[in-house]
């Protein structure tokens, strides 16, 4: 075990050192995604805008005009794109890069870096759309100082969660299908288009014990000019510790097997 543990640590270091490569590869893959489309990367922004308008319309209709707070909603969707959707897509992370993995030696963590880079690119594109809409609606608030540290904590969590999901789903393909609907379900369980206060007190545990809710809050609150409460930070940091250990164990135990699972 000590041998494979040090190999795992080395894998992480090697992956991080390849930053210029995964940065460019992630950009390339993002560009390739929108090749031959007219709107191109604007699709990432269009997605956020259309979904947020539609949800605002529906939720406002269901709960009355005050039921849906638009900045809260679009901020939530923006954060969810980073936290929920990109983790959901992580199941196919190694399968997508199978060709490369079978012809070139790269650290396993490298592919997770590529994935996280793509998630961040998507987030930044949507962030521009978010600010544009907020400016147009004269609802712009200057981000709180906590925006960057919050984003950093969430990004590390996204990285670790993606890693933890990607390894078993390469071996057991069912995990990939399962993660699709779990993410969909988690979307409803997380206060993205509703708020904790709207939930009946007896059921607020859905928010309080939902790690994804704390992740979303760490990104959303600073964007709306608020500092997230201490509890969110503790959840964010605690998750990094727990997920980090799990990811390290998975990497040490199964790292060299993954290429055979493709």
Partner 1 sequence: MPHSIDLKNVDLDYYIYSVRAQSLRNAVFNLAVGGRMYKTAGDVAAVQALSNITFRVEEGDRIALVGHNGSGKTTLLKVIAGIYQPTRGDLTIDGDVTSMIAISAGLDMEATGLQNIHKLGMMRRLSRKTIESRLEAIAEFSELGDFLRLPVRTYSAGMLARLMFSVATEFDADILVLDEWLSAGDAAFMAKASARMAKIVDAAKIVVIASHDFDLIHKVCNRVCELKAGKIVFLGSLTEWIAYREAA
Q: Does 261 bind partner 1 (CB under 8 A)?
A: yes
* Residue whose CB is less far from partner 1, 48 or 101: 101
Question: Which DSSP symbol is given to 203?
Answer: G
Residue 18 has phi, psi (to 5 degrees) of -85, 20
Q: Does 35 bind partner 1 (CB under 8 A)?
A: yes
Contacts of 115 (CB under 8 A, 6+ apart): 26, 86, 89, 90, 93, 162, 166
* Nearest 10 degrees: Cα torsion 240, 12, 16, 212: -20
Answer for which of 96, 100, 178, 246 binds partner 1 (CB under 8 A) is 100
Contact region for partner 1 (CB under 8 A) — 45-53, 100-108, 175-183, 203-211? 100-108
Q: Per CB under 8 A, which of residues 188..217 are in contact with partner 1?
A: none
User: CB of residue 169 vs partner 1: minimum separation in angstroms?
Assistant: 13
Pair 84, 180: CB distance under 8 Å: no
Sketch the per residue contact string, 15 through 34, with partner 1: x for CB under 8 A, - otherwise: ------x--xx--x---x--
Question: For the chain, where are the alpha helices, taking DSSP H only?
Answer: 2-17, 19-33, 42-63, 70-80, 86-89, 93-96, 98-101, 108-136, 147-171, 174-189, 205-208, 211-223, 230-254, 258-261
User: CB of residue 119 vs partner 1: minimum separation in angstroms?
Assistant: 20
Q: Does 138 bind partner 1 (CB under 8 A)?
A: no
Binding site for partner 1 (CB under 8 A): 21, 24-25, 28, 32, 35-36, 99-105, 171, 256-257, 259-261
């Amino acid at each position: 075990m000590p041998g494979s543990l040090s190999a795992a640590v080395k894998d992480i270091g090697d992956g991080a050192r390849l930053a210029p490569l995964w940065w460019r590869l992630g950009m390339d893959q993002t560009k390739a995604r929108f090749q031959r489309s007219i709107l191109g990367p604007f699709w990432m922004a269009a997605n956020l805008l259309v979904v947020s308008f539609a949800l605002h319309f529906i939720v406002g209709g269901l709960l009355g005009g005050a039921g849906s707070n638009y900045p809260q909603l679009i901020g939530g969707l923006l954060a969810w794109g980073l936290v929920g959707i990109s983790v959901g897509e992580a199941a196919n992370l190694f399968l997508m890069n199978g060709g490369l993995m079978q012809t070139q030696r790269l650290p396993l963590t490298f592919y997770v870096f590529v994935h996280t880079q793509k998630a961040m690119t998507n987030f930044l594109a949507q962030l521009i759309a978010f600010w544009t809409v907020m400016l147009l609606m004269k609802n712009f608030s200057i981000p709180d100082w906590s925006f960057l540290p919050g984003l950093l904590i969430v990004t590390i969590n996204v990285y670790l969660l993606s890693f933890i999901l990607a390894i078993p789903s390469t071996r057991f393909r069912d995990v990939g299908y399962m993660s699709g609907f779990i993410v969909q379900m988690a979307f409803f369980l997380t206060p993205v288009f509703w708020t904790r206060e709207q939930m009946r007190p007896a059921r607020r545990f859905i928010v309080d014990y939902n790690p994804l809710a704390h992740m979303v809050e760490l990104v959303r609150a600073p964007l709306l000019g608020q500092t997230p409460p201490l509890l969110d930070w503790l959840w964010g940091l605690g998750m990094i510790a727990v997920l980090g250990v799990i990811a390290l164990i998975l990497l040490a135990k199964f790292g060299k097997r993954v290429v055979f699972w493709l």
